[in-house]
Amino acid sequence: MKQNRQIMQTTFCAASILLLALLAAGCSKKADAAGDAADQVRSVDYVTVTTAPIVERRIYTGDLEATASVALYPLLQERIVSFPVEEGTEVKAGQVIALIRAASLKESRAQTQAQIEALDETLASQSRELERARSLHESRIVTQQTLDQMESAYRTNLAQRKVLDAGLGQVEITAGNAIIKAPFDGIISGKRLEQGDIASPAQPLCTVVQMDPIRLSIPVIERDLAVVRTGLAVEVTVDAHPGRVFRGEVTRILPVLDPGTRTNEVRIEIPNPVEADAGGPALKPGMFGHAEIIVRTVPDAVVVPTRSLMVDPEGRTGMRRVLVLTKDNVAQEKLVETGTASGDVFEVKSGLAAGERVVVRGQYGVADGERVKATDISKDGVAAAPAKSAQVSP
């Protein structure tokens, strides 16, 4: 009896120990499960949405060319008596560039003037005789035939006077051709003759080139014509002056597209004054220019890092997805309309506001409405936008 009681006690203790062991094991599994659940909360990095200036541009290249270029041909074949300008000389509109000898023209003008003066005396005398003859004709002292002859002679001399006047005017014009003047402000180029040479209508004396402003012609593709218009500011750079920006303006858009290239010629004018240290204008015809046309400026655009943007499932143009965080770090999916890209950031036209928190790392696989563990990396500057953005056109 006593032995049976000991066996029962021993069995009961063993069962109790086993039960306690099972309970302990169950608690341990629950704790491990809770720990695993805590470890499964996703970690993401975010930045705070900011604003920054965005400048949308179209980039093109082209050759610089003179605004105007005129070759000066002499109309006289005579000796050049004065030709003081040299290559690169800056001239003003109306400035005398060269003088051609016109001695024979001066003699011809003097002779014509002498003939006119003599004929004027004859006409004055004939006019007085006609007045007297008309009075005598009324008194029947002078016949009608005589009066008609006198009037015919007067008219003949009067016509000769007009011929001499026309000849004198032509001499004056021809003499004026001996003075070669600049047609506009510009710079002398291509001087081919010197003082003492014989000028010929077949050979130009020189060329006057208008380089201020200088012109840049670029072929703008068809899709950019909706935003490129006259009056837009342009920043131009050339390889000859690295790091220097020349500012110009779109002044003309030709009315017809090139059917072969589907491009439209756009002309840009750039101020190009003579620089004392350079001995002339900095920009020269023939240089290769890079033009950045500023088509749109947004001083306070909402911007986000490019890596925060995810594709739109429906593939709509200009639409992207982002994940934003609530105060409780719950991820919410938003559809945003994007604008100009600039380096590592994108302009957001709608869908986001400054101050919101947008996920930039770890967003893939996070479900809409899922709570996450969030780390702020705004201090790294990934949300900052440069003051200049570019959209390159081919």
Q: Which of 82, 88, 49, 287 is nearest to 188 (CA)?
A: 88
Region 327-338 average pLDDT: 93
Q: Which element (helix H / strand E) includes 251? A: strand 246-253
CB 188 within 8 A of CB 86: yes
pLDDT band (50, 70, 90) for residue 310: very high
- Res. 37: pLDDT tops 80: no
The b-or-e profile of 89-103 (16+ CB within 10 A means b, else e) is bbbeeeeebbebbbe
- Res. 14: pLDDT tops 80: no
* Range list of H helices, the chain: 2-39, 103-138, 144-176
Question: Which pLDDT score is estimated for 267?
Answer: 95
Structure tokens at 117: 């003066």
Q: Which residue has the tokens 């143009």?
A: 317
Question: Which pLDDT score is estimated for 393?
Answer: 35
Structure tokens at 83: 């030709």
Q: Which residue has the higher pLDDT, 122 or 283?
A: 283
Region 195-209 average pLDDT: 90
Q: Which of 186, 209, 167, 171 is nearest to 76 (CA)?
A: 171
Question: Which pLDDT score is estimated for 204?
Answer: 92
**Considering Cα of 130, then 136, then 137, then 143, what sign does the dihedral take?**
negative
pLDDT band (50, 70, 90) for residue 125: confident
Question: Which pLDDT score is estimated for 68?
Answer: 92
Region 190-200 average pLDDT: 89
Q: How do residues 218-257 score in pLDDT, each as one tens digit?
A: 999 998 998 999 999 999 999 999 999 999 999 999 999 9
Q: Which of 253, 258, 194 is nearest to 225 (CA)?
A: 253
Q: How do residues 352-365 score in pLDDT, each as one tens digit?
A: 999 999 999 988 98
pLDDT band (50, 70, 90) for residue 165: confident
Region 56-71 average pLDDT: 92
Q: How far is CA 61 from the centre of its chain?
A: 10
What whole-number distance in Å separates Cα of residue 203 and Cα of residue 75?
10
Please, what is the average pLDDT of the chain?
82
Q: Which of 244, 296, 228 is nearest to 54 (CA)?
A: 296
Q: Which of 47, 55, 51 is nearest to 388 (CA)?
A: 55
Q: Which of 376, 370, 375, 377 is nearest to 40 (CA)?
A: 370
pLDDT band (50, 70, 90) for residue 381: low
Predicted model pTM = 0.60
pLDDT band (50, 70, 90) for residue 388: very low
Helix (H, G, I), strand (E, B) or coil at 301: strand
Q: Which of 71, 63, 65, 91 is nearest to 274 (CA)?
A: 91
pLDDT band (50, 70, 90) for residue 394: very low
What whole-number distance in Å separates Cα of residue 203 and Cα of residue 71?
9
Looking at the chain, the whole-number percentage of residues with pLDDT higher than 90 is 40
Phi, psi angle pair for 122, to nearest 5°: -65, -45
What whole-number distance in Å separates Cα of residue 187 and Cα of residue 193?
16
Q: Which element (helix H / strand E) includes 326? A: none
**Considering Cα of 185, then 191, then 193, then 194, what sign does the dihedral take?**
positive
- Res. 134: pLDDT tops 70: yes
CB atoms within 10 A of CB 333: 14
Q: How do residues 169-184 score in pLDDT, each as one tens digit?
A: 665 656 557 788 999 9
Question: Which pLDDT score is estimated for 175?
Answer: 59
* Range list of H helices, 74-143: 103-138
Region 275-285 average pLDDT: 83
- Res. 386: pLDDT tops 60: no
Q: Which of 91-95, 139-143, 338-342 has the lowest mean pLDDT?
A: 139-143
What whole-number distance in Å separates Cα of residue 201 and Cα of residue 208?
17
